Amino acid sequence: MQVIASQPFGRNIVGGSCCDPAAAAMVLLLCLGFLPTVATCPPHCLCASDIISCSGRNLSTMPFGLPSYATRLDLSHNSIGALRLDWVSQPF
């Protein structure tokens, strides 16, 4: 037998893999669970830094799911006729 003892994120004492598979899976699941809240971009838009560009996407309504970090929103060259009065008060 090659492995004598192992540590969750360190090298095994005698050879083997560098990580405990269960611990690595747990870290991966935790990271994936935080992705939607950390980095979201509305469908059909491009997000970079604090800018959201939905330009030229033939939108007829405001995109949903605007991230809270956004400071600039480009809706040019779309077919949005009117905005709801409360769209700015919605968190984005």
pLDDT digits (tens, 9 = 90+) for 39-66: 588 888 999 989 999 999 999 998 888 8
- Mean pLDDT (whole number) for 2-27: 61
Long-range contacts of 67-75 (CB under 8 A, 24+ apart): 67/39, 67/40, 67/41, 67/92, 68/92
Residue 32 sits at φ, ψ, to 5 deg, of: -65, -30
Say whether 21 sits in a helix, a strand or coil: helix
Q: In terms of DSSP bridges, do strands 51-53 and 72-74 run parallel, antiparallel, or are they unpaired? A: parallel
- Tally helices (H) and strands (E) across the chain: 1, 3
Q: Give percent of the chain with pLDDT exceeding 90.
A: 25
pLDDT at 79 over 90: yes
